[in-house]
Structure formats: C-alpha cells, structure tokens
Amino acid sequence: MANIELRAQRRAVTGKKVRFLRREGLVPASLYGPGVASVPLQLPARETELALRRISSSTLVPLFVDGEPMRRVLVRQVQRHPTSEQVLHFDLFAVAMDTTMRAAVPLHFVGEAPAVTQLDGTLVHSLDTVEVEALPTDLPARLDVDLSPLDSLHSAIHAGDLTMPAGVTLLTPPDAVIASVAPPRLAAEELAEAEAAPVAEAAPAAAPAAEAPAETEAGS
C-alpha cells in the first residue's frame, strides 16, 4: 500500500453548501490532530473513492495539500450515502510521527476451522478489530487470524493468542474472544419429538379397536 496517497485542497465551502462540491466531483473532508486546528479540505471524488477502498483504519497515508508540507494521516469517520454508498464526508487525523498512538486494527481471518468442516459447528466472529498502541510507522494495516486451531466444538481464539508485530502493544483484553465454534443448533426437545413421532403414529394401527377411546382421552 506504499503507493496510496491523498491529494487535497483547502476548502472554502462549508455547511450545507458542500452538496454543491459533490456535484462538481469533489468530496469534503476535515483534517485535525495534535497541533493542527480543524482544517476543511476537498478532494477529487473518483481518486479518493479508489484510495479509500484500499485503506484500513490503521493505514498510514501521505496527504498532500496544495502548497503545504506532506503529512501522514489516518482515515477516520467515513460517512457514506445509505443507498448509493457515495462518500459524503470523512475525517483525516494528522499523526505525530514520534509519539505512540492508539488505533483499531482490522482482523483478517485465514484458513478453515476443522470443527466447522468436520463437526458441523458454526463459526462465530466476536471481534472484527483489536485495539493496539504503537508508533505510527509500526501500526499494522491488519492482523491475520489463523482459524486452524479451532478443531473442537466450543474452542475459541482469544486476543492474547495473536502475534503482535515488533513495537506493537495489544490493548484489547487478552481474554477477549475473537472467534469461536458453536455446536450444531438442534435442541434436545426437537430431537426427542422427532424420535417419538413414528411411535405415536404406529400405535393406532396395531390396535384399531382402541382408536376412539384414545382420541377421547387425548382430547380431554
């Protein structure tokens, strides 16, 4: 992702008038961070949309604003249209490169859980991200979660099982469940009913004379 970058201009249009920017193929954004007052920006919509598809919440991205030094930023709070998915607005957090920071890192699940493929268990994802602390340059874009240790029903992978890259500290409680395998969802009473049904149907055929009393008794 080293070739991803964002290019912007300072924005004079604010408030409800930003809808006119979108008609011109521009996306409004705001830049903030340590030592940076909130700065309204505008970016080309098409190039920005393509970049955002490849950026996670922990991806450090170069930001170029006309006439200003390059900054390293994290993308925050992307607002999209509920039906068209068009980007309406987003925030950019300017990071201090020499200061550790906290960030939510996405989890990427890889492999298969044997308890699902062999024992008909159901894979349950409890977390999609974990909170970490690191220098901006050490932040991973994602963390891989290997599902192969899930080889029995009720087995689980916890946050503490993840391998943290050098310089990265896990802040999510280590006992927090990331993924687990639930047993097949067939209730015991449903199984009992399925086994009892053929017996109830066969009884009247074996003793037809008792059929009427049996119905009367059932109806009482």
| CATH number, residue 155 | 2.170.120.20
Q: What is the pLDDT of residue 37?
A: 82
pTM of the model: 0.70
Q: What is the pLDDT of residue 195?
A: 63
Per the structure, the count of domains in the chain is: 2
DSSP per-residue codes, 116-152? HHTT--EEEE--SEEEEEE-GGG--S-EEEE-TT--S
18 and 59 co-located in one domain: yes
Segment 146-159 mean pLDDT? 96
Q: What is d(CA 220, CA 215) in angstroms, rounded to the nearest whole number? A: 9
Percent of the chain whose predicted confidence (pLDDT) is above 70: 83
- Report yes or no on 67 lying in a domain: yes
Q: What is d(CA 163, CA 82) in angstroms, rounded to the nearest whole number? A: 36
Segment 10-27 mean pLDDT? 86
Lowest-confidence pick of 7-11, 84-88, 91-95: 84-88
Q: What is d(CA 147, CA 114) in angstroms, rounded to the nearest whole number? A: 8
Three-point CA angle 21, 27, 28, nearest 5°: 85
90 and 156 co-located in one domain: no
Q: What is the pLDDT of residue 67?
A: 85
Q: What is the pLDDT of residue 205?
A: 42
| CATH number, residue 16 | 2.40.240.10
What rounded mean pLDDT belongs to the chain? Answer: 85
Q: How far is CA 202 from the centre of its chain?
A: 53
* Residue where a domain terminates, one of 46, 75, 94: 94
Q: Which residue has the higher pLDDT, 22 or 157?
A: 157
Q: What is d(CA 44, CA 134) in angstroms, rounded to the nearest whole number? A: 31
Q: What is the pLDDT of residue 198?
A: 57
Residues 6+ apart with CB under 8 A from 12: 40
Segment 80-88 mean pLDDT? 89
82 and 24 co-located in one domain: yes
- Report yes or no on 203 lying in a domain: no
Which helix (DSSP H) or strand (DSSP E) does residue 9 occupy? strand 6-10
pLDDT digits (tens, 9 = 90+) for 172-218: 999 999 999 999 864 344 455 656 665 444 444 444 444 444 444 44
Q: The domain containing residue 174 runs over which residues?
A: 101-182
Band the pLDDT of 219: cuts 50, 70, 90.
very low
Q: Which residue has the higher pLDDT, 130 or 186?
A: 130
Percent of the chain whose predicted confidence (pLDDT) is above 90: 63
- Report yes or no on 198 lying in a domain: no
82 and 113 co-located in one domain: no
Q: What is the pLDDT of residue 164?
A: 95
Taking 60 as the threshold, does the pLDDT of residue 4 lie above it? yes
pLDDT digits (tens, 9 = 90+) for 47-65: 999 999 888 888 999 999 9
* Residue where a domain terminates, one of 51, 68, 94: 94
Name the packing angle between helices 188-206 and 211-219 (round to 10°): 140
